[in-house]
Amino acid sequence: MSLVQVSKEGRIATITIDRQKYLNALNAEVIMELRSAFIQLDDIAVAIITGAGDKAFVAGADIASMSEMNPLQARAFVELGQGLMQTIEASPFITIAAVNGFALGGGLELAISCDLIYASENAKLALPETNLGIIPGFGGTVRLSQKIGMHRAMEMILQGRTITAIEAKAIGLVLDVLPQADLLPKVKELAQKLSKKGLMSMLAARRLVRANASVEMEKAFLLERETFATLFATGEPQEGMKAFMEKREAKFPWPSV
Protein backbone atom coordinates (compact mmCIF):
# COMPACT_ATOMS: atom_id res chain seq x y z
CA MET A 1 0.00 0.00 0.00
CA SER A 2 1.34 3.39 -1.00
CA LEU A 3 2.21 5.78 1.80
CA VAL A 4 1.76 8.78 -0.48
CA GLN A 5 -1.53 9.44 -2.25
CA VAL A 6 -1.71 11.75 -5.28
CA SER A 7 -4.90 13.18 -6.75
CA LYS A 8 -5.25 15.67 -9.61
CA GLU A 9 -8.00 18.11 -10.40
CA GLY A 10 -7.33 20.19 -13.48
CA ARG A 11 -3.95 21.87 -13.04
CA ILE A 12 -3.83 21.20 -9.29
CA ALA A 13 -2.38 18.14 -7.55
CA THR A 14 -2.93 17.19 -3.91
CA ILE A 15 -0.23 15.02 -2.34
CA THR A 16 -1.21 13.34 0.93
CA ILE A 17 1.20 11.54 3.23
CA ASP A 18 -0.79 8.61 4.62
CA ARG A 19 0.98 6.96 7.52
CA GLN A 20 -1.52 7.85 10.19
CA LYS A 21 -0.50 5.14 12.68
CA TYR A 22 2.84 6.96 12.99
CA LEU A 23 1.41 10.49 12.65
CA ASN A 24 2.71 10.53 9.06
CA ALA A 25 6.34 10.46 10.24
CA LEU A 26 9.01 10.41 7.54
CA ASN A 27 11.06 7.27 7.13
CA ALA A 28 13.20 6.42 4.11
CA GLU A 29 10.27 4.76 2.31
CA VAL A 30 8.01 7.80 2.69
CA ILE A 31 10.78 10.16 1.61
CA MET A 32 11.45 8.15 -1.54
CA GLU A 33 7.75 7.88 -2.37
CA LEU A 34 7.31 11.62 -1.90
CA ARG A 35 10.26 12.45 -4.11
CA SER A 36 9.02 10.06 -6.77
CA ALA A 37 5.56 11.66 -6.62
CA PHE A 38 6.97 15.13 -7.14
CA ILE A 39 9.25 14.06 -9.98
CA GLN A 40 6.43 12.28 -11.81
CA LEU A 41 3.93 15.15 -11.61
CA ASP A 42 3.42 16.91 -14.91
CA ASP A 43 1.02 19.35 -16.55
CA ILE A 44 0.13 21.03 -13.27
CA ALA A 45 0.54 24.57 -11.97
CA VAL A 46 0.17 24.00 -8.23
CA ALA A 47 0.82 21.10 -5.85
CA ILE A 48 -0.66 20.99 -2.35
CA ILE A 49 1.01 18.77 0.23
CA THR A 50 -0.77 17.70 3.40
CA GLY A 51 -1.06 14.84 5.88
CA ALA A 52 -3.79 12.23 6.19
CA GLY A 53 -6.13 12.52 9.16
CA ASP A 54 -6.70 15.46 11.46
CA LYS A 55 -3.80 15.02 13.90
CA ALA A 56 -0.63 15.49 11.92
CA PHE A 57 0.83 17.04 8.81
CA VAL A 58 4.10 15.19 9.45
CA ALA A 59 5.19 14.58 13.05
CA GLY A 60 8.90 14.53 12.25
CA ALA A 61 11.27 11.90 10.98
CA ASP A 62 10.88 8.34 12.23
CA ILE A 63 12.86 8.36 15.48
CA ALA A 64 12.78 4.58 15.89
CA SER A 65 14.50 4.12 12.54
CA MET A 66 17.05 6.87 13.29
CA SER A 67 18.01 5.79 16.79
CA GLU A 68 20.29 2.94 15.70
CA MET A 69 22.12 4.86 12.96
CA ASN A 70 25.88 5.24 12.81
CA PRO A 71 27.45 8.39 11.28
CA LEU A 72 27.53 6.95 7.74
CA GLN A 73 23.89 5.91 7.92
CA ALA A 74 22.94 9.28 9.40
CA ARG A 75 24.67 11.08 6.52
CA ALA A 76 22.87 8.91 3.96
CA PHE A 77 19.53 9.58 5.66
CA VAL A 78 19.92 13.37 5.70
CA GLU A 79 21.13 13.30 2.09
CA LEU A 80 17.89 11.51 1.25
CA GLY A 81 15.84 14.07 3.17
CA GLN A 82 17.66 17.07 1.77
CA GLY A 83 17.24 15.62 -1.71
CA LEU A 84 13.47 15.51 -1.22
CA MET A 85 13.30 19.10 0.01
CA GLN A 86 15.47 20.33 -2.85
CA THR A 87 13.28 18.45 -5.34
CA ILE A 88 10.21 20.22 -3.91
CA GLU A 89 11.96 23.58 -3.90
CA ALA A 90 13.01 23.19 -7.55
CA SER A 91 9.72 21.73 -8.77
CA PRO A 92 8.32 23.19 -12.02
CA PHE A 93 5.12 24.28 -10.28
CA ILE A 94 4.10 26.25 -7.21
CA THR A 95 3.95 24.31 -3.93
CA ILE A 96 1.68 24.92 -0.93
CA ALA A 97 1.90 23.21 2.45
CA ALA A 98 -1.48 22.71 4.16
CA VAL A 99 -0.32 22.03 7.72
CA ASN A 100 -3.23 20.18 9.30
CA GLY A 101 -1.75 19.24 12.68
CA PHE A 102 1.70 18.45 14.05
CA ALA A 103 4.56 19.67 11.86
CA LEU A 104 7.60 18.68 13.86
CA GLY A 105 11.22 18.25 12.84
CA GLY A 106 11.27 16.86 9.32
CA GLY A 107 7.60 17.80 9.01
CA LEU A 108 8.34 21.47 9.53
CA GLU A 109 11.35 21.17 7.23
CA LEU A 110 9.00 19.73 4.61
CA ALA A 111 6.60 22.64 5.03
CA ILE A 112 9.28 25.33 4.77
CA SER A 113 10.58 23.82 1.55
CA CYS A 114 7.24 24.80 -0.02
CA ASP A 115 6.51 28.22 -1.50
CA LEU A 116 3.50 28.97 0.72
CA ILE A 117 2.43 27.62 4.13
CA TYR A 118 -1.08 27.68 5.64
CA ALA A 119 -2.02 26.02 8.92
CA SER A 120 -5.08 24.76 10.75
CA GLU A 121 -5.97 26.08 14.19
CA ASN A 122 -4.81 22.85 15.83
CA ALA A 123 -1.41 22.87 14.16
CA LYS A 124 1.71 22.66 16.31
CA LEU A 125 5.11 23.44 14.83
CA ALA A 126 8.65 22.82 16.06
CA LEU A 127 12.20 21.85 15.27
CA PRO A 128 12.75 19.79 18.46
CA GLU A 129 15.89 17.97 17.33
CA THR A 130 18.21 19.42 20.01
CA ASN A 131 15.97 17.76 22.61
CA LEU A 132 17.10 14.46 21.06
CA GLY A 133 20.78 15.28 20.80
CA ILE A 134 20.66 15.96 17.07
CA ILE A 135 20.05 18.95 14.79
CA PRO A 136 17.62 19.67 11.96
CA GLY A 137 19.11 17.85 8.99
CA PHE A 138 16.67 18.25 6.09
CA GLY A 139 17.52 21.91 5.50
CA GLY A 140 15.96 23.37 8.63
CA THR A 141 19.04 25.28 9.82
CA VAL A 142 19.17 26.97 6.42
CA ARG A 143 15.56 27.62 5.45
CA LEU A 144 14.12 28.57 8.85
CA SER A 145 16.47 31.54 9.13
CA GLN A 146 15.34 32.68 5.70
CA LYS A 147 11.70 32.40 6.73
CA ILE A 148 11.75 34.09 10.14
CA GLY A 149 15.22 35.60 10.62
CA MET A 150 18.31 34.32 12.40
CA HIS A 151 17.34 35.14 16.00
CA ARG A 152 13.85 33.64 15.81
CA ALA A 153 15.29 30.56 14.10
CA MET A 154 17.98 30.30 16.78
CA GLU A 155 15.32 30.49 19.50
CA MET A 156 13.18 27.75 17.93
CA ILE A 157 16.10 25.42 17.23
CA LEU A 158 17.98 25.83 20.52
CA GLN A 159 14.87 25.60 22.70
CA GLY A 160 13.21 22.91 20.60
CA ARG A 161 9.95 24.48 21.74
CA THR A 162 6.65 23.66 20.08
CA ILE A 163 4.65 26.72 19.01
CA THR A 164 1.00 27.12 18.09
CA ALA A 165 -0.28 28.05 14.67
CA ILE A 166 -1.14 31.54 15.97
CA GLU A 167 2.43 32.01 17.23
CA ALA A 168 3.74 30.73 13.90
CA LYS A 169 1.67 33.32 12.05
CA ALA A 170 2.88 36.10 14.36
CA ILE A 171 6.52 35.40 13.47
CA GLY A 172 5.84 34.94 9.76
CA LEU A 173 6.30 31.19 9.65
CA VAL A 174 2.80 30.53 8.31
CA LEU A 175 0.72 32.90 6.21
CA ASP A 176 -2.69 32.27 7.74
CA VAL A 177 -4.44 30.10 10.32
CA LEU A 178 -7.76 28.49 9.41
CA PRO A 179 -10.31 26.19 11.06
CA GLN A 180 -9.40 22.56 10.44
CA ALA A 181 -12.43 21.95 8.21
CA ASP A 182 -11.67 25.04 6.12
CA LEU A 183 -7.93 24.50 5.60
CA LEU A 184 -7.88 22.27 2.53
CA PRO A 185 -10.88 23.93 0.80
CA LYS A 186 -9.32 27.39 1.28
CA VAL A 187 -5.91 26.23 0.08
CA LYS A 188 -7.53 24.61 -2.97
CA GLU A 189 -9.38 27.86 -3.65
CA LEU A 190 -6.06 29.72 -3.59
CA ALA A 191 -4.49 27.05 -5.79
CA GLN A 192 -7.30 27.55 -8.35
CA LYS A 193 -6.52 31.28 -8.50
CA LEU A 194 -2.80 30.63 -8.90
CA SER A 195 -3.40 27.99 -11.58
CA LYS A 196 -4.94 30.66 -13.81
CA LYS A 197 -1.82 32.83 -13.69
CA GLY A 198 1.15 32.55 -16.02
CA LEU A 199 3.19 29.64 -14.69
CA MET A 200 6.45 30.83 -16.24
CA SER A 201 6.18 34.26 -14.63
CA MET A 202 5.37 32.75 -11.22
CA LEU A 203 8.33 30.37 -11.44
CA ALA A 204 10.61 33.20 -12.57
CA ALA A 205 9.50 35.33 -9.62
CA ARG A 206 10.05 32.41 -7.24
CA ARG A 207 13.52 31.80 -8.65
CA LEU A 208 14.53 35.43 -8.12
CA VAL A 209 13.12 35.66 -4.59
CA ARG A 210 14.94 32.51 -3.56
CA ALA A 211 18.18 33.38 -5.33
CA ASN A 212 18.38 36.68 -3.49
CA ALA A 213 17.92 34.90 -0.15
CA SER A 214 20.08 31.83 -0.75
CA VAL A 215 23.61 32.86 -1.66
CA GLU A 216 26.00 29.98 -0.86
CA MET A 217 22.97 27.83 0.00
CA GLU A 218 24.50 24.58 -1.23
CA LYS A 219 27.52 25.13 1.00
CA ALA A 220 25.16 25.62 3.95
CA PHE A 221 23.30 22.36 3.18
CA LEU A 222 26.63 20.49 2.98
CA LEU A 223 27.68 21.85 6.37
CA GLU A 224 24.33 20.82 7.87
CA ARG A 225 24.69 17.27 6.50
CA GLU A 226 28.23 16.85 7.81
CA THR A 227 27.35 18.24 11.24
CA PHE A 228 24.27 15.99 11.52
CA ALA A 229 26.31 12.88 10.66
CA THR A 230 29.22 13.76 12.94
CA LEU A 231 26.90 14.08 15.95
CA PHE A 232 26.16 10.36 15.70
CA ALA A 233 29.72 9.69 16.87
CA THR A 234 29.16 11.60 20.14
CA GLY A 235 26.54 9.39 21.79
CA GLU A 236 24.09 12.28 22.17
CA PRO A 237 21.67 11.19 19.39
CA GLN A 238 21.54 7.64 20.71
CA GLU A 239 20.74 8.76 24.27
CA GLY A 240 18.32 11.49 23.19
CA MET A 241 16.23 9.26 20.95
CA LYS A 242 16.34 6.29 23.34
CA ALA A 243 15.07 8.56 26.13
CA PHE A 244 12.30 9.84 23.88
CA MET A 245 11.12 6.32 23.05
CA GLU A 246 11.35 5.30 26.70
CA LYS A 247 9.46 8.45 27.76
CA ARG A 248 12.12 9.63 30.21
CA GLU A 249 14.43 12.59 30.55
CA ALA A 250 17.61 12.27 28.53
CA LYS A 251 20.96 12.04 30.32
CA PHE A 252 23.36 13.31 27.71
CA PRO A 253 27.05 12.39 28.03
CA TRP A 254 29.27 15.31 29.02
CA PRO A 255 31.77 16.05 26.23
CA SER A 256 35.45 15.35 26.92
CA VAL A 257 37.69 18.26 25.96
Q: Is 187 exposed, middle or buried (0-12, 13-18, 19+ CB in 10 A)?
A: buried
What local confidence, expressed as pLDDT, does residue 257 receive? 52
| Number of helices and strands in the chain (H, E) | 11, 10
What local confidence, expressed as pLDDT, does residue 222 receive? 87
Amino acid at 216: E
**This prediction's pTM:** 0.89
Backbone angles phi, psi at 159, to 5 degrees: -80, -30
List active site positions: 109, 129
What local confidence, expressed as pLDDT, does residue 220 receive? 81
Angle at 29 between CA 109 and CA 63, to 5 degrees: 60
What local confidence, expressed as pLDDT, does residue 159 receive? 96
The domain ranges of the chain are 4-195
On whether the CB atoms of residues 117 and 148 are closer than 8 A, the answer is: no
Residues facing 51 on adjacent strands: 17
Parts of the chain with a pLDDT under 70: 1, 213-215, 256-257
For residue 255, give the DSSP letter: P
CATH node for 4-195: 3.90.226.10
Amino acid at 96: I
Could you give the CA distance from residue 178 to residue 72 in angstroms, rounded to a whole number? 41
What local confidence, expressed as pLDDT, does residue 8 receive? 97
